[in-house]
Amino acid sequence: MIKENQKHFNRLHVVIDAFVIIISYFLAWLLKFHLPILRDEGGRLPFYIYMSALLFIVPAYLMLYYAFSLYTPKRVQGRRLEFSNIFKANTLGLFLLITGLYLIKQIDFSRHVIVIFYAINVVSEELTRMLIRVVLRKMRAKGYNQKHILLVGYSRACEEYIDRILANPQWGYTIRGILDDNVQAGYMYRGIKVLGRIDNLMVILPQNHLDEIAITLGLSEYFRLEQIVALCEKSGVHTKFIPDYNRIIPTKPYTEDILGLPVINIRYVPLTNTFNAFTKRVMDIVGACVAIILFSPVMLFSVIMIKLTSPGPLIYKQERVGLHNHSFLMYKFRSMEVQPPEEEKKAWTVKNDPRVTNFGRFMRKTSIDELPQLFNVLKGEMSLVGPRPERPFFVDKFREEIPRYMIKHQVRPGLTGWAQVNGYRGNTSIRKRIEYDLYYIENWTLGLDIKILILTFFKGFINKNAY
């Protein structure tokens, strides 16, 4: 039933998209030729010629939407990915329209109409899909358009999958039960019952109208995976696999094809890509040079105040662990009284620490003491954005206490970072900091770096946890 519903819904969705494209195009024509600011009578083509272009535009755009997976079920595709695909499809459509007009040498056809149509259509398609999501969410919450699932294997992954489905009824999933050989029939987890053994699969499948089978075996049962997949595929029901090693492999691993042998890489780090690394490095160099010029009055003022308020060097150099576990000397404006290296090496600054000077306390609160690290960025030891570097003593300590702590050293440490702009600076949870660092490492984009830099200006400089 759900498959038939999906077919009908996809057909309706195509019709809705065609209607949206036509309306967007007509509005673009209307704005161009009837809005006083844009109106231009010179070389104007008749209305029917503009409308006849829809005979090409509508099918072309619908094919682009299909090519960019805009007709996949809403359960599967996230909103951000969907908007990204709408933007890509319309951008390619814009390029094809302009190229087509150039090839047929149609110089009187207004390019403004096409550009206005592009802008209106992107917004209209996104608003339409948002409305469809709201309608589907309400329908599924009331029990309509449900997808019925059977789980094969009782494990931690099984429980986590059930937790998420029950917490999101708008997804429209109904779990019919669980099959497992190690848990007694009748046992229930959050209202979902273990129906029997896995061998009962071929008996249950003909008797139940299932839409999906989710294999949720525990790690110790993976030797049965091939047999169970074969059983599931005999039924013709869509089968998916939910691995029981999500604590080992992240949500976005990437695979390689080695002559037909799939290889799963445990962690995808976008900055291992040469082009990505080069792009980030260029941004670091340009950004550091601009920041040094911009903050030079602040740094000059800090130098004078440090010299006037406390004897000792202006710059404090501290060993930190950076990219590929290599140590480097990180620069800071000195904010504490001079002390023997062995005393400060193994201790963090605490609240009301007597070693911190009066001006040093101000620098720490406003992060001015971090500005010399711009020169670390120029030297290539640090980046503008990345996980904050730690001292060797604490790295050795945390690598044993906190899972996946050392992954942060797969990228250059940063002057600011995703954890810092989310409030995890100074005396805050190391585990939460690592969670945010890992998210940044696995989801890096140039846009994310720019976002973090902007957030740093608005809420990253004042550090209430700095002592």
Q: Where are the domains of the chain?
A: 2-141, 147-248, 274-460
Within its chain, how far is the Cα of 242 from the centroid? Answer: 20
Using one digit for the tens of pLDDT, what is the confidence trace for 268-289? Answer: 788 988 889 999 999 999 999 9
DSSP state of 42: T
**Cα-based angle 173, 177, 181 (whole degrees, multiple of 5):** 140
The CA distance from 148 to 4, in Å, is 14
Mean pLDDT of the region 122-135: 90
Do the beta carbons of residue 75 and residue 168 sit within 8 Å?
no
Q: Torsion-angle region of residue 349: left (phi > 0), alpha (psi -120 to 50) or beta?
A: beta
Lowest-pLDDT range, 51-55, 126-130, 350-354?
350-354
Lowest-pLDDT range, 73-82, 328-337, 340-349, 377-386?
340-349
Do the beta carbons of residue 152 and residue 198 sit within 8 Å?
yes
Instruction: Look at residues 212, 147, 214 and name the one whose alpha carbon lies nearest to residue 174.
Output: 147
Tokens of 332: 């800071």
Q: Which residue has the tokens 């002057």?
A: 415
The CA distance from 320 to 339, in Å, is 18
Single-letter amino acid, residue 166: L
Burial class (CB in 10 A: 0-12, 13-18, 19+), 128: middle
Using one digit for the tens of pLDDT, what is the confidence trace for 286-320? Answer: 999 999 999 999 999 999 999 888 888 899 898 99
The CA distance from 217 to 231, in Å, is 14
The CA distance from 310 to 355, in Å, is 11
What pTM value is reported for the model?
Answer: 0.59
Using one digit for the tens of pLDDT, what is the confidence trace for 54-69? Answer: 999 999 999 999 888 8
Residue spans of alpha helices (H) in 316-459: 341-344, 358-366, 373-379, 392-401, 418-421, 430-442, 446-455
Lowest-pLDDT range, 22-36, 352-366, 450-464?
450-464
The CA distance from 380 to 285, in Å, is 9
Report in angstroms the alpha-carbon separations of 333 from 302, 374, 384, 413, 415.
8, 12, 17, 18, 14
Single-letter amino acid, residue 61: Y
Confidence of residue 126 (pLDDT cuts 50, 70, 90): very high
Single-letter amino acid, residue 98: I
At how many degrees (to 10) do helices 54-67 and 2-34 cross? 140
The CA distance from 113 to 50, in Å, is 9
Instruction: Look at residues 417, 347, 348, 407 and name the one whose alpha carbon lies nearest to residue 382.
Output: 417
Do the beta carbons of residue 149 and residue 174 sit within 8 Å?
yes
3-state secondary structure of 154: coil
Mean pLDDT of the region 402-407: 85
Tokens of 298: 């602040």
Do the beta carbons of residue 329 and residue 431 sit within 8 Å?
no
Do the beta carbons of residue 140 and residue 146 sit within 8 Å?
yes
Please measure the distance between the N-terminal and C-terminal CA atoms of the chain and give it in whole angstroms: 63
Helix and strand counts by DSSP (H, E) for the chain: 17, 12
Do the beta carbons of residue 195 and residue 178 sit within 8 Å?
yes
Burial class (CB in 10 A: 0-12, 13-18, 19+), 72: middle
Average pLDDT over the chain reads 85
Do the beta carbons of residue 360 and residue 466 sit within 8 Å?
no
Residue 22's H or E segment, with its range, is helix 2-34
The CA distance from 450 to 373, in Å, is 18
User: If DSSP states are collapsed to H, E and C, what string results for 54-104?
Assistant: HHHHHHHHHHHHHHCCCCCCCCCCCHHHHHHHHHHHHHHHHHHHHHHHHHC
Residue 178's H or E segment, with its range, is strand 173-179
DSSP state of 457: I
The CA distance from 244 to 158, in Å, is 8
The CA distance from 403 to 91, in Å, is 43
Q: What CATH architecture applies to the domain 147-248?
A: 3-Layer(aba) Sandwich (3.40)
Residue 2 pLDDT more than 50?
A: no
Residue 40 pLDDT more than 80?
A: no
Mean pLDDT of the region 325-352: 74
**Residue ranges with strand state E in 260-406:** 261-265, 315-321, 327-333, 383-385
199 or 193, which is more confident? 193
